[in-house]
Amino acid sequence: MFDKEYSFRGSHADKVIKLTAGFGKDNFKLFARNLDVYLVAPIVGFLYGSTAELDKSDSTTKIFPEQLLKAYQDLMFQYRLILLLDKSYEGKLDERIDKAFRHYGSERALQDEQLYERYVLGGVDILYEKLIATANNEDDYLKNLYDFIEEFDDRYNKLVSTDNILDLCRLARS
């Protein structure tokens, strides 16, 4: 899955192009490369519960195989993590483990790969909506980035307190 060229297509290609385009007098970029969007998007898509279908219209932007191969371990980790955590897709833990580790690369994994792809595209939609869609100038981009990070922090990092982490460390010592 991560060993050949990957293409964003249609509206998602347009969004990735805008996410990787520079802006402002310093040509600041939110994402340096298409690969960076591809690394972040499935996690965002999964955490926000956002999936999207492939848009097959004309626009395309690519990630070359060499880039994907260099990031292979990270991509596989994310793929497996999403399959392990997605209880809505597969309720049974043993099946999720099989999907994440045993079926990869086989014909049985085709559905899993399509699910991952839908999370990638859903994540691209969220990243674009939160970071780019309402920005008209450099200040807007920075405000949107700050707001997105704050929202993400409020959504996911407030669940675990410092005391919880300290308790886990104490347990690990015992």
**3-class DSSP state of 57:** coil
Please give the pLDDT value at position 129. Answer: 96
Q: pLDDT, tens digit, for every residue of 49-60? A: 999 998 888 899
pLDDT of residue 9: 95
The predicted structure's pLDDT at residue 87: 84
3-state secondary structure of 159: coil
pLDDT at 174 over 60: no
Q: For the segment 133-156, what is each residue's pLDDT rounded down to a tens digit?
A: 998 888 888 899 989 988 888 887
pLDDT at 172: 60
